[in-house]
Amino acid sequence: MGSLRIYPSFFASILILILICFHSSSCEDSGHEDFDYSEGPKGPHNWGDLKQAWRLCKTGTNQSPINISPHKVRKDDSLERLRTGYSPIHDPVLLSIDHDVALEFGADAGGITLNGTHYKLKEYHTHMPSEHVVNRRRFPLEIHLVHKTPDKNRIAVISVLYKHGRRDNILEQVLKMISSANKKGGSLDSSLNMTKMKISGKAYYRYSGSLTTPPCSEGVLWTVLREAHTLSQEQFRKFQTILTKNNSRFTQKINGREVLYRR
């Protein structure tokens, strides 16, 4: 589904980086220089051959993203109504402006309860164009809100698709935060009000999938909002300037998986 500031001790910096990678979903982007989104040898079709730890990118049977066909989903009213408990986030960490705009949040970001399990909001990732496709329609932008259980053993991702329209307040906050940031990442002296993220009560699709970047780990609980949010043309152009290349993985085979729908 990041670089740190340099500290006096080089070895201490390396140790901190390893610990963060181990405990954070940012490991899905581990070694940015080791993979890309091109048609070349480091592109998505070859991720599974680049490292043994990334084999699932090639051999996995429950991979993401997918094409969602609304006429093939199963309506399931037993699924919970989405209710987020997000908090304003102070001093988020910009992991990178490399493959995507990736923000990491601390312990006070709030979370969401899905299938009776509480997940904490940990990261915010952008993909342009969208990775998930609905009726084979690809959207201009997709945001992934990465959540983890307190023991960090389970991951749930909420996908928000964007279409052209009115300006989005959350995107505007993100763009302002990163406008003067170091491209290599680091702590941002600003706040992001995630309470304004309009997710609660929205209809959604649910399926079991994977991280969409190496190591492509499976068992990820995906929630894809049915109704797309909007971004303005100006916001779209700004993201195009930041994300100069496509950073979306191609859609994966369903392999008999059931996609559920909750109105």
Note if 164 is an active site residue: no
106-150: pLDDT as tens digits: 878 999 999 999 999 999 999 999 999 999 999 999 999 999 999
Question: Over the chain, what is the mean pLDDT?
Answer: 86
The length of the chain in residues reads 263
Predicted confidence (pLDDT) at residue 15 exceeds the cutoff of 60: no
Instruction: Identify residue 82 by its one-letter amino acid code.
Output: L
Rounded Cα–Cα distance for residues 257 and 188 (Å): 40
230-247: pLDDT as tens digits: 999 999 999 999 888 899
44 cis-preceded (ω within 30 degrees of 0): no
Helix (H, G, I), strand (E, B) or coil at 110: strand
The percentage of residues in the chain with a pLDDT greater than 90, rounded to a whole number, is 69
**Looking at residue 207, what is its pLDDT?**
98
Q: What distances in angstroms separate CA 76 from CA 8, 57, 70, 204, one per listed residue?
A: 55, 30, 13, 11
Predicted confidence (pLDDT) at residue 26 exceeds the cutoff of 80: no
Sort strands 191-193 and 155-164 into parallel, antiparallel or unpaired: unpaired
Annotated active-site residue in 90, 99, 147, 229: 99
Which two structure tokens, joined as six digits, stand for 142? Answer: 């997709």
**Looking at residue 1, what is its pLDDT?**
57
Which two structure tokens, joined as six digits, stand for 104? Answer: 């990491």
Confidence of residue 226 (pLDDT cuts 50, 70, 90): very high
Sort strands 133-134 and 117-127 into parallel, antiparallel or unpaired: unpaired
Predicted confidence (pLDDT) at residue 178 exceeds the cutoff of 60: yes
Region 10-262: CATH code: 3.10.200.10
Rounded Cα–Cα distance for residues 133 and 90 (Å): 33
